[in-house]
Structure 1
Amino acid sequence: MTAPRLLVLQPSQSDPLAELGTWLEAEGIELHLVSLKDEPAPESLDGYDGVICLGGEMGALDDAEHPWLADARRLLSNAVARKLPTLAICLGAQLLAVATGGQVRKGPQGPEVGVLLVAKRDSSANDPLFADLPFTPDVLQFHSDEVHLLPPGAEHLAASPKYPNQAFRVGSCAYGLQFHIETTPEIVLNWAAKDPVSAACARPQHFDQDFLAEAHRDLAEVWQPFVARFAKMVRGELSPAGCLGTQLPLV
């Protein structure tokens, strides 16, 4: 049997697949990585069973400097239309939001950085990926922009006090996560070194090597099973969410 194949869109070398790739490969998923800065994006999603879109330091609409962002938005929109399981992280979530009618802006409360909690929304109880998560899972935050308005019909799945639109689902199986679940301590320390202004918004111990190592062990306990559920959806073993929107009574 042929392994399910995911298209992985990588906007920046600073945010690789890392742990996410390890977890997906352990689930028997084949990964086709496209570094958007260095190679053209596929014309279509033919031959793929799902899509991953990672993060990056650019903005979701910085097309003048990064014209390939339009290709990423096109592919994410196509993934939603084709009901392909999709996982979009940080910048990826912002690209997914914009591609499907949402709005992204510079976060008015400044950067959100560090190992922090998000809280699930009530709607997550019926979501195939989010239902089994703890109510307030740990996440790794490192962003300055926010998803200001969710796409029409999107399901709001998780929030934080600083920026409410932390996780959402568009359609039946396209997920946007404003936070990171894929990182290693080394990746986070590299971000802090490259962007000390944003890093200064976190508590100082959040960039201590031992603290980050322990935090990533905790992150793996929560998010590796989440990724395993996503892999089951890609393999067709877990049904996507039902139709969104207002459910009218049958007469």
Structure 2
Amino acid sequence: MGARLLVVQHEPDAPAGWLGEWWEAGGVELDVVRADLGQPVPARLADGDHDGLVVLGGAMGANDDALHPWLTHTKELLRDTVRGGLPTLGVCLGHQLASVGLGGAAGPNPHGRTVGVVPVALTPDGADDPLLAGLDGAGAVHFNDDVVGTPPPGATVLARLPDGSPQALRLGERAWSVQFHPETSPEIFGAWLRWERPDGLEPADEALLASVTAARDRLRGSWETFAARFAAQLG
């Protein structure tokens, strides 16, 4: 029997994308919880049911529990899974939720939005990391207004954005979070732009989409490696 991941999805247009494709091709089963559709997020992973946890992105903020009550349960689940030593990956909103759940802080970036393909800038710790080693300078899709302002106690910064905010964190022996979107194809990225511009994309949006589309093969090459490394943690 192959490994099984619990995946928390927050929005219809923010699926597991490429990550899900690669994991399933490698024999990993995905149990997707659509929190936005009212499917309950468990407070912890049941023994033997899942081998790891992935929490995806979304437009809401990590502190918007009053508007999206499942975020409280998701932070509890992240905290319990990280502390339990099971493989964990938080992506964008998942990155911010993990930090808040573990005692850090996240909120609007005073430097504004990060959007498009931005290189990963590894720290010395990131250069030796089991998931990110060798990926310094690799392009990664970003689409975020919020960032982690204060990493949780004990976290290690693996990469930083140009504004200095954490681009990737090691949260535990087998737990990571990334501000970028290794799962995001140009098609998903385009859906996000169109959601914000229902009357049609502006020239700047078209240019952003073109840049992500042009990077497709490079993005897939880098983040398929990352996905395989995370899957290897499930054994």
Alignment TM-score, normalising by the size of structure 1: 0.87
Residue 157 of structure 1, CA deviation: 0.3
Alignment of 1:172-187 (within 5 A): 172-187=173-188
Residues of 2 paired with 1:112 and 1:27: CA distance? 32
Count of aligned residue pairs for this structure pair: 229
Question: 1:156-194 CA distances to partner (integer Å, 9 max, x unpaired)?
Answer: 101111242110011111111001110121211111122
Q: Which amino acid aligns with 2:4?
A: R
**Could you say which residue in structure 1 is the equivalent of 2:27?**
28
**Could you say which residue in structure 2 is the equivalent of 1:132?**
134
Residues of 2 paired with 1:153 and 1:17: CA distance? 28
Question: 1:34-91 CA distances to partner (integer Å, 9 max, x unpaired)?
Answer: 0012211124302211000000010001011100000110110011111111111000
Residues of 1 paired with 2:139 and 2:219: CA distance? 6
**Could you say which residue in structure 2 is the equivalent of 1:61?**
63
**Could you say which residue in structure 1 is the equivalent of 2:13?**
14
Alignment TM-score, normalising by the size of structure 2: 0.92
**SS in structure 1 opposite 2:189?**
helix
User: Which of 70, 76, 79 in structure 1 is aligned with 2:78?
Assistant: 76
Residues of 2 paired with 1:170 and 1:213: CA distance? 31
Q: Which amino acid aligns with 2:53?
A: V
Question: 1:124-182 CA distances to partner (integer Å, 9 max, x unpaired)?
Answer: 1332111232x211000100011001111101101111242110011111111001110
Deviating 4+ runs (over 4 angstroms): none
Between Structure 1 and Structure 2, whose CA radius of gyration is higher? 1
**SS in structure 1 opposite 2:80?**
helix
Q: Say if 2:193 and 2:205, in contact at 8 Å, map to a contact too.
A: no
Q: Which shifted more, 157-166 or 99-108?
A: 157-166
Alignment of 1:86-101 (within 5 A): 86-101=88-103
1:188 pairs with 2:186: no
**Could you say which residue in structure 1 is the equivalent of 2:107?**
105
Residue 118 of structure 1, CA deviation: 2.1
**SS in structure 1 opposite 2:7?**
strand
**Could you say which residue in structure 2 is the equivalent of 1:41?**
41
**SS in structure 1 opposite 2:107?**
strand
Residues of 1 paired with 2:226 and 2:13: CA distance? 23
Q: Say if 2:155 and 2:170, in contact at 8 Å, map to a contact too.
A: yes
Residues of 1 paired with 2:43 and 2:209: CA distance? 40
**Could you say which residue in structure 2 is the equivalent of 1:207?**
209
- Segments of structure 2 that go 5 or more residues without pairing to the other structure are none
Q: Say if 1:112 and 1:162, in contact at 8 Å, map to a contact too.
A: no
Residues of 1 paired with 2:196 and 2:180: CA distance? 17
